[in-house]
Amino acid sequence: MRISFFILLITFFILISCQSGYKETEVSLKPYSIEDGFNLEVVAAEPLLKAPVAIDFDSKGRIWAAQMPGYMNDLQGSGEADSTGSIVILEDLDNDGIADHSKVFMDSLVMPRALAHVYGGLLYAEPPYLWFVDIEEDKPVNKIMVDSIYAVEGNPEHQPNGLELNIDNWIYNAKSNFRYRRQNGVWKKEPTTFRGQWGITHDNFGRLYYNDNSRILLGDFVPPNTFLDNKYFTPKSSVDKLLTNDQRVYPKFAGSVNRGYAKGVLNSDSILVNATAACSPLVYRGGKFTEEYKENVFISIPEGNLIKRALLTFKGDSVIAKQAWEEKEFLTSIDEGFRPVSLKNGPGGNLYIVDMHRGMIGHHAYMSPYLRDKAKVKELDTIVSFGRILKVSHENANAEDSPIFDSLSGSELVALLHSDNGWIRDRAQHILIYKGLKDEIDKVKEIALNSENKWTPIHALYILEGWNELSFEFLVEVMKKGNPNATAHALILSKKLESEENIEKAYTIFNTVLARNNLSLDSYLGNVLGGWIALDYEKFTPLMIDILKRRNNNSTVVDAVISGLADVDSLIYENKEVMSTLKHTQFVNKLARSITDKKSDKKNAIFTKTVTHEDTRTSGAKMFFQICASCHGAEGKGIDGLAPPLMSSEHVKNTERLALIILHGLEGPVHVNGKEYNINLAMPGLIRNETISDTDIANIISYVTNAFSDRPKSLSAKRIRELRSVKSSTGMEFTEKELQALDD
């Protein structure tokens, strides 16, 4: 008897000791519908996660998540500035594919929004800073500030984010015009095209894609910074392009939408018609889905509780997107808490969805009275303690373990450049560079010249670029032997290697490329020629003319050529023979405009913009809560004995009257929606407060009309300055009758 009891006790303690740190949360996927042939799984959920907004994978294949629980805890956005954010490491201790443990890597952060495993450490954004830390035993060490003004001001919805490591070895961001890179231990920051709002991704060629709230997909026709050599020319025809006019979405139910009262936002069944909060596009590069899914773009539509699929068509000089289906989406849910805010390719070839799983996804500064009422009825503001990572896999794909990159030799990393999984190719490329594994240089060069995989040579070229081991002679060999993709990137990379001793080699190979009569190659060759024209005008100018004549009025080619003419634009423009040959073309007009801008020192905006500024409604919301909410209430309902309501008030709908009240004050009685408010205390004006500017008051008006009326409006700071001189009969606070008289 005693022996049996002792055995049972030992067995009990053994079982307890084998349990993981957390019980794996069981999440029902019944509310979710996914395209036939695909599986949807939960790989992590609360309590391991709370409001995740971005993820990345480390060298062991583990998921690291940036969490933003301070975002929209309630309808007023309370606690936004509190240090409740964190970065956690998700672990699967029992190896069943589901995370059962969460390890805090870094906590006490304010609104962390992006992270990337690069250079053996972690790059992460915590506004206003961009930081880099080394990692030792899953702990941060050697913290370095990469940029002190990464995201100086702004609403969380409109601050830089992304940290997308591209094939060209630079790290790009959405809602930003800067890119970053570390070379020889030194961080570099350069201007780039301003792109998108939340989320950024790249394709196998290195082109970038992004979006904003109401446009599901934007993108560049060429790799980033390719056409930015001329600081006085903005290549509007080839970057930041709308890739589809179709913004339709197909939710499964009538969810809560911010401007649902506006005409055309909802259909007759109260279901969202077009995207209003699109974000985080992802070019699928995992290699595990079927052929028709290669380089498809998946797009997050959190307000519609769905993931959209779009198809890309590459035209040589442009990219076109088309929705995969009508009346159908790749993934939908009837769970209004499902908020996909980020998508990621993973080491196993699967697609990962970051579900913030939050009731309120829109910032309080933009919230309409309509949505506030809807949210209260549905109690959406109570959905705050959740967060999930979902995995999408194809049912016929073989499971693939993630390589443990830290343990791989240089030759093993080179072998991974042939992987069908673009995520693995990117990571192998990056590690070969930052570890400086140059013993593999001959293998890498061989890949650049001879690989049958149409994408692998591009990775090889940028490994050599990262090692600073490119020569013009080698790039000429790539242009001779390489596929069109490799040749295009060899042309791009050759721009740094112009020299007089290479003139004859350049002339010969450029004629060879020209003879291929390839539209895409003509763009990149046209872009390269400007630097060589500066070295030998007579030899290379005819090549430029041949390209422009062959691609008559092709906007991408024209952008390419003018961008490359930075040092010889005036010389070309003043050549009557050249201009006569190209007359009546957009090249002549665009070149003239560029030269005019150069003379007036009017640069492309990316070279003058240094920070992202806060939008008016966000600034106004901050001022409102500091100055006005104590009397009018955070929800604009007024407070008995202190102030009347602002919600749906006729005094809010009239922006000039509202400005006069804010400037000069108001004494009662006051009527709002037919009800009289006879408050003894007069509302004081802000006109004597020297710390509050006309712009501040304009921002308050922008927020108040958005938050407490159905028609957001604005009033210029100039007009507010003029209204300072409009006085009441007493020179003090206005009365309601005086304001009404001014309207007449």
> What distance, in Å, lies between the first and last C-alpha atoms of the chain?
99
**How many residues are listed for the chain in this entry?**
744
φ, ψ at 6 (rounded to 5°): -65, -40
Domain boundaries, position 70? 31-394
pLDDT at 2: 47
In a domain, 534, yes or no: no
Residue where the block lists tokens 């209430």: 633
Q: What is the DSSP letter of 26?
A: P
Q: Number of structural domains, the chain? A: 2
pLDDT at 23: 66
User: pTM for this structure?
Assistant: 0.88
Helix residue spans in 551-641 (DSSP H): 555-564, 569-573, 576-581, 586-599, 616-627, 629-632
The enclosing domain of 152 has a CATH number of 2.120.10.30
Q: Counting Cβ atoms within 10 Å, is residue 673 exposed (0-12), middle (13-18) or buried (19+)?
A: exposed
Going by C-beta distance under 8 Å and a sequence separation of 6 or more, which residues neighbour residue 640?
none
Among the candidates 364, 394, 424, a domain finishes at 394
pLDDT at 15: 42
| Tokens at 385, concatenated | 């303690």
φ, ψ at 165 (rounded to 5°): -75, 115
Give the distance, in angstroms, between the CA of residue 25 and the centroid of all CA atoms in the same chain.
30
Nearest by Cα to 668 from 714, 712, 631: 631
In a domain, 701, yes or no: yes
| Tokens at 590, concatenated | 């665009």
Q: Is 185 helix (H, G, I), strand (E, B) or coil?
A: coil
pLDDT at 247: 97
Report d(CA 381, CA 397) in Å as an integer. Answer: 39
Give per-residue burial for 375-394: e unless 16+ CB within 10 Å, then b. Answer: beeeebbebbebbbbbbbbb
Report d(CA 595, CA 587) in Å as an integer. Answer: 12
Report d(CA 353, CA 511) in Å as an integer. Answer: 47
Q: At what angle do helices 484-494 and 472-481 cross, to 10 degrees?
A: 160
Among the candidates 337, 371, 394, a domain finishes at 394
249, 265 contact by CB (below 8 A)? no
Report d(CA 741, CA 207) in Å as an integer. Answer: 59
In a domain, 402, yes or no: no
Report d(CA 289, CA 348) in Å as an integer. Answer: 11
Residue 66: its H or E element:
strand 63-67
In a domain, 602, yes or no: no
pLDDT at 687: 87
pLDDT digits (tens, 9 = 90+) for 665-688: 888 788 888 888 887 667 888 888
Report d(CA 597, CA 233) in Å as an integer. Answer: 8
In a domain, 543, yes or no: no
Residues of the chain with pLDDT below 70 are 1-23, 154, 680-681, 744
Q: Is 719 helix (H, G, I), strand (E, B) or coil?
A: helix
131, 144 contact by CB (below 8 A)? yes
pLDDT at 703: 87
pLDDT digits (tens, 9 = 90+) for 454-503: 999 999 999 999 999 999 999 999 999 999 999 999 999 999 899 999 99
In a domain, 404, yes or no: no
240: left (phi over 0), alpha (psi -120 to 50) or beta: left
Among the candidates 372, 394, 416, a domain finishes at 394
Q: Going edge to edge, which strands form the sheet with 85-91?
A: 52-57, 63-67, 85-91, 101-109
Q: Is 172 helix (H, G, I), strand (E, B) or coil?
A: strand
Residue 314: its H or E element:
strand 306-314
Q: Residue 670 forms beta bridges with which residues?
A: 677
In a domain, 453, yes or no: no
The enclosing domain of 647 has a CATH number of 1.10.760.10
In a domain, 315, yes or no: yes
